[in-house]
């Protein structure tokens, strides 16, 4: 038996080499020679990956896009959140969808790997007016000086608080909107309540680890340089922001306690933290206003923008974007589709449909943040006073925040960079490292990922 072993290994090695030799990627397929013209008549198939027309904002715009494409273009949706693996494999195998809908943070990674194409020709040819897009949104889809995505939607954060708890503690929104960190820390202690060693009211939730970029920016620091090449995770201002945000939890017995209590809350139900008066205040994305308005319209809530240390409104923008995959068989239709989905008139029609729907449901219309400044203005004009000051306050705060956003620039190692700083924050929250140690490690990991990815791109 032992004598046969070398023979087996020889066969195995030969097979491996044979298979390896057969292995061939499709990464070198040529870009389509497309001609973009807004008046051109289009035909063929248009497969859309990662987008679902689940609500009127999606379905009305989709109808508009179908109209713009004409009856000769057959649109097919591959619904659900974008499966990155499925998408990349489809590109690698030469069978990509014609257009892809992705998170804006993914655009840099896709672009750097050649999975999506630059949209310069599409933008010029179809006449997409990029000046209407919010700059932070456009920055997120601009990689190495070229636009790779057409942005849509904007998610921003605002301060959301329990007015009843604030009042009882003799506090105001100014104490919890982030403009004065000492005031936030003091409010946290005043609002927090314990019973039998267990938290019964979370005073303030700084929403770590996900909101580190917001706290760092409020303290005057960015996690990454504007060109997306240099990590700035060990910046003293970032570390100071991290210490403050973690200190908010430490003052309440530690992150474990706050998280355990937070996780047990009925977040999307009528017994949410504000309705049950178990949370003083937190910065939170604007979509949660709609949840609160739907499930607990009578909850004692109050809203303001999140503010930096100078008292200026501040929000970290995120959202989605349309991209055209490499090898797309109908880039002309894809371009017009992306253009129509994000144009002002489509957004306005979609918003009108939502106003009608909310009216029939007896709910209020809180607006839609589109990532398109022109559309945002027109839709904001459609928002009518609700007769309830707190919800009007929420809309006001949302739109103000929308005018004061920032974003992290597109880079080829987006996921790794994010993992580096989030893991660092988590190590601090779990008590495994000090903020300085954690961010030093994150800086090393994040910079290594950026260096390698940029080097690969610049090869």
Binding site for other proteins (CB under 8 A): 12, 15-16, 19-20, 23-25, 27-28, 84-85, 88-89, 91-92, 109, 113-115, 197-199, 209-210, 255-257, 259-261, 263-264, 326, 413, 415-416, 419, 422-423, 426-427, 429-432, 449
Compute the least distance from the CB of residue 8 to other proteins, in Å. Answer: 12
Compute the least distance from the CB of residue 445 to other proteins, in Å. Answer: 9
Side by side, which strands form the sheet with 150-155? 73-78, 44-49, 99-103, 318-323, 150-155
Compute the least distance from the CB of residue 257 to other proteins, in Å. Answer: 7
Q: What distance in Å separates the CA atoms of residue 165 and residue 278, rounded to the nearest whole number?
A: 9
Contact 453, 228 (CB under 8 A): no
Compute the least distance from the CB of residue 279 to other proteins, in Å. Answer: 13
Q: 201: part of which helix (H) or strand (E)?
A: strand 198-204
Compute the least distance from the CB of residue 202 to other proteins, in Å. Answer: 11
Q: Residue 28 or 30: which CB sits closer to other proteins? A: 28
Q: What is 33-70 written as a DSSP string? A: -----TT----EEEEEES----SHHHHHHHHHHHHHH-
Compute the least distance from the CB of residue 94 to other proteins, in Å. Answer: 11
Q: Residue 288 or 365: which CB sits closer to other proteins? A: 288
Number of Cβ within a 10 Å radius of residue 295: 16
Contact 166, 281 (CB under 8 A): yes
Q: Residue 232 or 433: which CB sits closer to other proteins? A: 433
Contact 425, 243 (CB under 8 A): no
The dihedral of CA 80, 82, 88, 94: what is its sign? Answer: positive
Q: Residue 264 or 298: which CB sits closer to other proteins? A: 264
Compute the least distance from the CB of residue 135 to other proteins, in Å. Answer: 26
**Coil, strand, or helix at residue 24?**
coil
Compute the least distance from the CB of residue 22 to other proteins, in Å. Answer: 10
Q: What is 333-356 written as a DSSP string? A: HHHHHHHHHHSHHHHHHHHHHHHH
Q: Residue 62 or 99: which CB sits closer to other proteins? A: 99
Q: Residue 171 or 258: which CB sits closer to other proteins? A: 258
Q: What distance in Å separates the CA atoms of residue 143 and residue 112, rounded to the nearest whole number?
A: 8
Q: 406: part of which helix (H) or strand (E)?
A: strand 405-406
Compute the least distance from the CB of residue 100 to other proteins, in Å. Answer: 13
Compute the least distance from the CB of residue 123 to other proteins, in Å. Answer: 23
Compute the least distance from the CB of residue 75 to other proteins, in Å. Answer: 25
Token pair, residue 408, equals 């992290």
At residue 448, φ and ψ (nearest 5 deg) are -60, -45
Token pair, residue 109, equals 């990674």
441: which residues sit within 8 A by CB, 6+ positions away?
Answer: 424, 427, 433
What residues does 101 pair with on adjacent strands? 322
Q: What distance in Å separates the CA atoms of residue 69 and residue 405, rounded to the nearest whole number?
A: 33
Number of Cβ within a 10 Å radius of residue 85: 8
Distance of CA 369 to the CA centre of its chain: 13
Q: What distance in Å separates the CA atoms of residue 2 and residue 85, rounded to the nearest whole number?
A: 42
Q: Residue 206 or 342: which CB sits closer to other proteins? A: 206
Q: Residue 29 or 59: which CB sits closer to other proteins? A: 29
Q: Residue 209 or 371: which CB sits closer to other proteins? A: 209
Q: Residue 209 or 409: which CB sits closer to other proteins? A: 209
Q: Residue 426 or 434: which CB sits closer to other proteins? A: 426
């Amino acid at each position: 038996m032992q004598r046969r072993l070398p023979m087996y290994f020889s066969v195995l090695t030969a097979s491996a080499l044979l298979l390896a030799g057969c292995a061939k990627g499709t990464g070198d397929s040529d870009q389509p020679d497309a001609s973009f013209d807004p008046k051109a008549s289009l035909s063929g198939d248009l497969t859309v990956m990662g987008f679902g027309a689940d609500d009127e904002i999606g379905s009305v715009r989709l109808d508009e896009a179908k109209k713009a494409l004409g009856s000769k273009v057959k649109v097919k949706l591959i619904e659900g959140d974008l499966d990155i693996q499925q998408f990349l494999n489809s590109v690698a195998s030469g069978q990509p969808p014609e257009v892809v809908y992705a998170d804006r943070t993914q655009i840099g990674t896709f672009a750097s790997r050649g999975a999506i194409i630059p949209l310069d020709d599409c933008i010029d040819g179809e006449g997409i007016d990029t000046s209407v897009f919010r700059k932070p949104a456009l920055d997120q889809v601009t990689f190495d000086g070229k636009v790779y995505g057409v942005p849509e939607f904007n998610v921003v954060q605002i301060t959301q608080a329990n007015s009843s708890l604030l009042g009882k503690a003799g506090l105001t929104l100014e104490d919890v909107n982030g403009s004065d960190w000492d005031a936030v820390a003091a409010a946290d202690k005043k609002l927090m309540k314990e019973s039998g060693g267990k938290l019964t009211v979370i005073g303030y939730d700084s929403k770590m680890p996900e909101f580190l970029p917001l706290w760092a920016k409020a303290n005057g620091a960015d996690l990454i340089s504007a060109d997306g090449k240099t990590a700035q995770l060990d910046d003293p201002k970032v570390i100071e922001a991290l210490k403050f945000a973690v200190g908010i939890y430490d003052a309440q017995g530690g992150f474990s306690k706050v998280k355990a209590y937070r996780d047990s809350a009925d977040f999307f139900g009528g017994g949410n933290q504000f309705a049950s008066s178990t949370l003083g205040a937190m910065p939170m994305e604007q979509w949660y206003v709609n949840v609160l308005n739907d499930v607990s319209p009578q909850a004692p809530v109050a809203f303001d923008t999140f503010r930096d240390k100078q008292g200026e409104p501040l929000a970290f923008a995120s959202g989605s974007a349309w991209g055209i995959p490499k090898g797309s068989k109908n880039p002309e239709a894809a371009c017009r589709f992306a253009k129509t989905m994000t144009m002002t008139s489509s957004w306005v029609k979609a918003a009108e449909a939502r106003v009608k729907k909310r009216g029939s449901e007896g709910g209020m219309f809180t607006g839609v943040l589109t990532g398109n400044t022109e559309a945002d203005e027109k839709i904001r004009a459609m928002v009518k006073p609700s007769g309830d000051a707190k919800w009007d306050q929420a809309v006001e705060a949302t739109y103000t925040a929308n005018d004061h956003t920032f974003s992290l620039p597109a880079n080829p190692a987006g996921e790794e960079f994010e993992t580096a700083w989030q893991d660092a924050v988590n190590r601090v929250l779990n008590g495994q490292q000090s903020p300085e140690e954690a961010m030093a490690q994150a800086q090393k990991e994040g910079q290594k990922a950026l260096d390698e990815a940029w080097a690969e791109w610049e090869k």
